Chain A
Amino acid sequence: MARPREDKPGGPAKQYYRRKKVCKFCVERIDGINYKDVKLLSQFVPERAKIMPRRISGVCSHHQRQLNDAIKKARSIALLPFATE
């Protein structure tokens, strides 16, 4: 006999619908992440000036690595803060 759908292994259907995060750089076809582009980079440094983790921003690993480098370069020339006082 067929079971009702809700009782399938894996539990009942999720209650909340979470929108799938997408990588901004893949979607908008931004090729190079440049350390001079403060406007772009500052979207990924929240208030405390830490680099936003991938699980929150949804950036893919490839672009997160590039973003990391760019932010660190920008920090060393005082375009972005290391920490907010």
Chain B
Amino acid sequence: MANYEIMFIVNPNTAEDEIDKINTQIEGVITSGGGQIQKIEKMGKRRLAYEVSRFREAFYILFALAANGDVVRECERRLRVMDPVLKYLTVRVDEENRRLDKMKNYRQKRAARRSSGAAAATADQAGGEAI
């Protein structure tokens, strides 16, 4: 299992419930394939940076999931087949996340060490003043 992000853009003229239908369909593919959905984010209508099949704006939808490669492949196939979906992008994020966690841990540790050192110093000072 690996973590992925699938982002896709949908024709701006599709109705809200139709977008929900697409989402539930993708959800179904992921859960039936043994994957877990971490997040579904509707990023709303945005202006596109360039024209995609004659559209200047589109709905952005982001899925974050943990699944096998087969599941992702199936999702991509479904997205390709669906008419209102203009474009999709799948990114594998676990390596990046691991790196970020490592950096975060490191920063926290450093901050903790520094603040504990500072605390000790201030305690010393306070002691000195008391005497």
Of residues 60 through 85 on chain A, the ones whose CB sits less than 8 Å from some CB of chain B are 73, 75-82, 85
Measured in the bound complex, the distance between the Cα atoms of B46 and A4 in whole Å is: 65
Of residues 64 through 117 on chain B, the ones whose CB sits less than 8 Å from some CB of chain A are 87-89, 91, 96, 99-100, 103-104, 107
Q: Contact size class for B?
A: 10 to 19
Q: A78-B9, A79-B49, A81-B49 are in contact. Are A31 and B89 (CB under 8 A)?
A: no
Query: Can you name the residue of chain B whose Cβ is closest to the Cβ of A85?
Result: B50
Of residues 13 through 34 on chain A, the ones whose CB sits less than 8 Å from some CB of chain B are 29, 31-32
Main secondary structure of the interface of B (DSSP, over half): strand
Interface: A35 (CB within 8 A):
yes
Measured in the bound complex, the distance between the Cα atoms of B46 and A35 in whole Å is: 15
A80 partner residues in chain B, CB cutoff 8 A: 49
Determine if B91 and A73 form an interchain contact, defined as CB atoms under 8 angstroms apart.
yes
Interface centre among B46, B89, B100 (most CB of A within 10 A): B89
Interface centre among A31, A82, A85 (most CB of B within 10 A): A31
A36 partner residues in chain B, CB cutoff 8 A: 7, 62
Interface: B2 (CB within 8 A):
no
B104 partner residues in chain A, CB cutoff 8 A: 31
The list of the 6 closest CB pairs from A to B, nearest first, reads A81-B49, A78-B48, A77-B89, A31-B103, A32-B100, A81-B50
